[in-house]
Amino acid sequence: MDRVIFDDVQKQLKRIPTYVVDKLIAWAVSVEMKGLREIRKIPGYHDEPLKGQREGQRSIRLTKGYRAIYREDVDGTIHLVILKEVHKHEY
């Protein structure tokens, strides 16, 4: 069973708009209920592998302006690494 860990992003959650946090929580609940493989199929999240320094991590689109970056352990545990605000010129 997949499990989402929020430990590394606790401080960031306080600075991010509530609607973004709500979307992240909805994603996490979906992952825990249906599994990450199924949730990756949902096109709205734009779940994609990262390259370069973030190789081995993936990102999901929470809104046009926010991304969540996570890594997955072999046991199915998903660790949220960072919540990132992006600007139009960055994507």
Between CA 51 and CA 17 the distance in angstroms is 27
Q: What is the pTM of this model?
A: 0.88
Task: Give 26-82 pLDDT, tens digit per residue.
Answer: 999 999 999 999 999 999 999 999 999 999 999 999 999 999 999 999 888 999 999
How far is it, in rounded angstroms, from Cα 77 to Cα 65? 26
Q: By three-state DSSP, how is residue 15 classified?
A: helix
The DSSP 8-state label assigned to residue 5 in this structure reads E
Region of 53 please: left (phi>0), alpha (psi -120 to 50) or beta: alpha
Measure the CA–CA gap between 86 and 41, rounded to whole angstroms: 23
Q: Six-digit token pair at 58?
A: 């993936």
State the pLDDT at residue 16.
Answer: 93
33/14 Cα distance (integer angstroms): 25
